[in-house]
Structure 1
Amino acid sequence: MTIALNHLDTGGEGTPLVVIHGLLGSADNWRSHVKQWQAARRVIAVDLRNHGRSPHAAGMAYTQMADDLLALLDRLEVPRVHLLGHSMGGKVAISLARLAPERVASLIVADIAPRAYGHGHDAIFAALRRVEAGAPANRGEADALLAEHVAERPVRLFLATNLERAEAGQLRLRIGLDEIEGDYEAIRAAPAGEGAFTGPTLVIRGSRSDYVTDAMLPALHEVLPGARVVTLEAGHWLHAERPEAFQDAVNAFLDEQVD
């Protein structure tokens, strides 16, 4: 069963740009980018299942998340899109491009490769569980709870975007943490689908990130044979660290595409 995804739709003409966030992110994280892109095109930013304001449901397999997105495009009567995904969202984008290539006019993958990755979120899950148990009254208390497991303040600020005010007054997590942590193995896995996506593709990676290393490029090009690789002086959250350079890379690529 597909999930009715929460989404932001700017409206406008032409082939839309669909933006997909990464693990524990949301469409809200992309609002500043959306404001820039909407001057030139329609932009649709989504909350994946168990993220943002979308419903919670068991299962985080890439086939499921790609199906959720296809169902949204069908409801919006959008036949083809330019697809941009960061990290886990990049795997969703690759999955959709392989499973339904006729729906993808072009593909932009931000700092992820089409492969399985190791465990890397144990401390983050522990920090979120600490907040869940601690029921903080304000963001200062929430940050102190997160800091028991996560030292890096930028990471804590990112995690805090998942907090909302409950009716009782305390802060609570809006994400489906049980569902995300319960199917973390599916999130770690390679994207869904088989074979290669041969359409126009841009891969943007961070020079200080180990998510798309030079050693991974041969395997990446087997799945995305037409991929152009752009490297920014940044880490994994390259769209937040280098927003203007990220925008420039995306805009230059999209300007080459024919809607």
Structure 2
Amino acid sequence: MATVTVNGGQPVHFVDYGGDGPPVVLLHSFLMDIDMWEPQVEAFGAEYRLIAIDERGQGGTPADADFDYWDVARDVVGVMDHLGVERAAVVGTSQGGFIGLRMALLAPERVTSLAVLGTSAEPEAEGTAAVYRQLIGAWLQTGPEPLVDGVATFCLGDYEASSWKAKWRGVTGEQFQRIMTTLISRDSVLERVGEITAPVLVLHGSADSEYPIARAESLVAALPNAEPLVTIVNGAHFLSLSHAAEINPHLKEFLAAHAAGK
């Protein structure tokens, strides 16, 4: 693990697993960190140079000021620059997908291919945003303890999440407010994803508690070079972790075909 300063002074914590295969950048979900990708490191880490990044305000990467996902996309490109990685495949779940889509728009020459799971190109629905604002208030007022069980069920379904709940108990109200505000206030990129010419794989869980399958269908329809939508039956919102056994074969097939680029 290492930390590098990029993008005008932003420290970013990451782990470069090394290897001689094509580089693949891994971008985690909201409230998560690089440990989310342990199933993928185990499944195909020997075949690729996996680079997992802690996004602003999560894991070992601080967020000392307000930011948006375009900023985080620039952070990731900065880490690639630091590592001398000219081009990479990008895999992102939920929030990681927000960032991956913006990377492909911001620096298309750096992204050979993109796989997104349980994500959306659209802004947060106002009703959901209102619920999240209430969650911010509760986290600020009571702390995380009364809330972590519900967050785990919402994001991970029946997955055994005790280790993640332990991490969430250390998230301060200020930290939670900052990262959640970024999520709530994100802009839409659905109108722009037609500019993304790299191959894209979209995977979505049928039991996703955050985004209906229609979000994934809209994204696939708007992308000019999308693979057919992969629906994981009973898949939860953070399905790259909760349903790793089901999604890993799809990721392996997609990366084998597209990670190295043309």
TM-score, with structure 1 as normaliser: 0.80
Aligned to 1:138: none
Is 1:22 equivalent to 2:29 in the alignment?
yes
Structure 2: segments with no counterpart, 5+ residues: 1-7
- CA 1:7 to 1:193, structure 2 compared with 1: closer, same or farther past 3 Å? farther
Contact 2:204 2:231 in 1 (8 A): yes
Contact 1:95 1:192 in 2 (8 A): no
Q: Deviations over 1:81-104 (max 9, x none)?
A: 110011111010000001111000
Aligned to 1:227: 226
Aligned to 1:121: 132
- CA 1:72 to 1:29, structure 2 compared with 1: closer, same or farther past 3 Å? same
What RMSD in Å do the two structures reach over aligned CA positions?
2.9
Aligned to 1:45: 52
Is 1:73 equivalent to 2:80 in the alignment?
yes
Aligned to 2:167: 161
Q: Deviations over 1:30-84 (max 9, x none)?
A: 2232222212111111100111110223223121111111111111110001100
Q: Which amino acid aligns with 2:80?
A: L
Contact 2:12 2:55 in 1 (8 A): yes
1:84-123 correspondence runs (5 A): 84-118=91-125, 119=129, 120-122=131-133
CA distance in 2, matches of 1:149, 1:126: 15
Q: Which amino acid aligns with 1:83?
A: V
Aligned to 2:203: 204
- CA 1:131 to 1:149, structure 2 compared with 1: closer, same or farther past 3 Å? farther
Structure 1: segments with no counterpart, 5+ residues: 133-141, 165-171
Q: How many residues align?
A: 240
1:128-167 correspondence runs (5 A): 128-130=139-141, 132=143, 143=145, 145-146=146-147, 152=153, 157=162, 158-164=164-170
CA distance in 2, matches of 1:50, 1:258: 28
Aligned to 1:257: 258
TM-score, with structure 2 as normaliser: 0.79
Q: Which amino acid aligns with 1:211?
A: Y
CA distance in 2, matches of 1:94, 1:237: 17
CA distance in 2, matches of 1:252, 1:175: 41
Which entry has the higher C-alpha Rg, 1 or 2?
A: 1
CA distance in 1, matches of 2:151, 2:259: 44
1:180-219 correspondence runs (5 A): 180-187=179-186, 189-191=187-189, 194=192, 195-209=194-208, 211-214=211-214, 217-218=217-218
CA distance in 1, matches of 2:215, 2:96: 22
Of stretches 123-132 and 194-203 in structure 1, the one that deviates more from structure 2 is 123-132
Contact 2:132 2:180 in 1 (8 A): no
| DSSP-derived class of the 2:70 partner | helix
